[in-house]
Structures are given as C-alpha cells and as structure tokens.
Amino acid sequence: MIAQDLGPQAAAAALAAEHAYVIEAQLDDPDDLGHLQAAWALAKCVCEEGAAIVIDVYAARAHLGGEVAALPPGRGFDVMREVTLFFEELGDGTIAAWSLGLRKFGRPDLVLPGVAPDGAAEAALLLRDLAEALAAGERIEPGDGVETPAGLRLAAERFAPERWPRVAVDGDAILLVPAPA
C-alpha cells in the first residue's frame, strides 16, 4: 500500500524505520468526531517529530509524514480524507464500488455491486454522499431503503463476503442493491 500510494522511496523508508506508533480509539457509536480529531492531532505530533509515514488502516491509505505534519489544525472535515472508495470489475461487465473507512465512525462500510462502467462516477458520488451522512450520525441498517439522486430505490442488505470475493471489505458492510418493485 505504501509503495502504491507514495512510491518506492517511501516504501523503503517504511521498511528501514526503527519504530512504529499505533494510534487507535475504540468507540461503538461516537457522539461526535472528537476521537478522529484526537487521532489526527497525535499523528500530526509524531510527524512533526520526524515520523515518515502515516497509514490509515481503515481507509487503506498511506500519507507522507511531512504532509500530515503540515495539516492546518483548523481544517474542516472532509469525508474523502477519511474514507477511500474502491472499484473492481466483477467479470460480468459490471463494477463493484465500495467504501473503506466508515468503521472510524462506528458505521459499516458500503458495497454497491452491479454498477455499469459508465456509472462509476455516479456510484462514487452516491457512496461519498452516503459516507458523509453516516459520518454525521445517520445509520443504514439491513432492511432500510436508500434513494439515489437519480430516483433509483436501493435496499440495504447485510454484506456476504463469500458472495462477492472481489470486494475487499474488512468487517461488517452493507450491500446496496436495487429494491424490489
């Protein structure tokens, strides 16, 4: 992940590192985003002291330490800094789109299978908007319905990883499929 996100020099620096710090918080249903602010503040502190790389394991994303050290303390919340969207061809001509990182908000990640290749941008916008709502405290549970901006009604189901082996979600997830008419 480090080599892919940051390049071979960053990967070499990570392998040569003598120390690693783990910053974690465990909250089932946080009331606010204070835990996230505190985690980024701690990451910023260790980067100001020379940490080379920060890995957000839940969002599957790596950051250069210098960039984290330079983050302004008063920056606004951006869900796309906390959540990563992934896309994978399913072999039937469609794409699966999913989020990683919603666990940081006490919410399951989202999986949207059967996306037409020309609908990937629309799927990304839908997942982004849903991720923002979930980060703000909303919930999507199996059995719920979700309406897309285009008016399509989706049904929320429990994600079964064995049914979707190309989707790399760690932990609970919600599958969003077209709702029965």
Number of domains in the chain: 2
Instruction: Choose one of 45, 69, 93: the last residue of a domain.
Output: 69
Q: What is the pLDDT of residues 52-84, one digit of tens each?
A: 999 999 999 999 999 999 999 889 999 999 999
Instruction: Choose one of 41, 69, 97: the last residue of a domain.
Output: 69
Q: Mean pLDDT throughout 45-49?
A: 96
**Phi, psi for residue 87 in degrees, rounded to 5:** -135, 140
Same domain, 29 and 93: no
Instruction: Choose one of 69, 94, 126: the last residue of a domain.
Output: 69
Structural domain including 26 reads 2-69
Which pLDDT band, with edges at 50, 70 and 90, does 164 fall under? very high
Tell me if 53 sits within 8 A of 68, measured CB to CB. no
Dihedral sign for Cα atoms in the order 98, 69, 26, 5: positive
pTM (2 d.p.):
0.91
- Is 97 among the domain residues? yes
Same domain, 97 and 150: yes
Which pLDDT band, with edges at 50, 70 and 90, does 180 fall under? confident
- Is 52 among the domain residues? yes
Q: What is the pLDDT of residues 23-46, one digit of tens each?
A: 988 877 788 888 899 999 999 999
Which one, of 128, 5, 124, 3, lies nearest residue 61 by Cα? 5
Same domain, 60 and 16: yes
Tokens in use for 25? Answer: 């918080």
Q: How many CA atoms lie within 13 A of 106 on its CB side?
A: 16
Same domain, 95 and 135: yes
- How far apart (Å, rounded) are the C-alpha atoms in residues 71 and 10? 19
Burial of residue 132, with CB atoms counted within 10 A of its CB: 0-12 exposed, 13-18 middle, 19 or more buried = middle
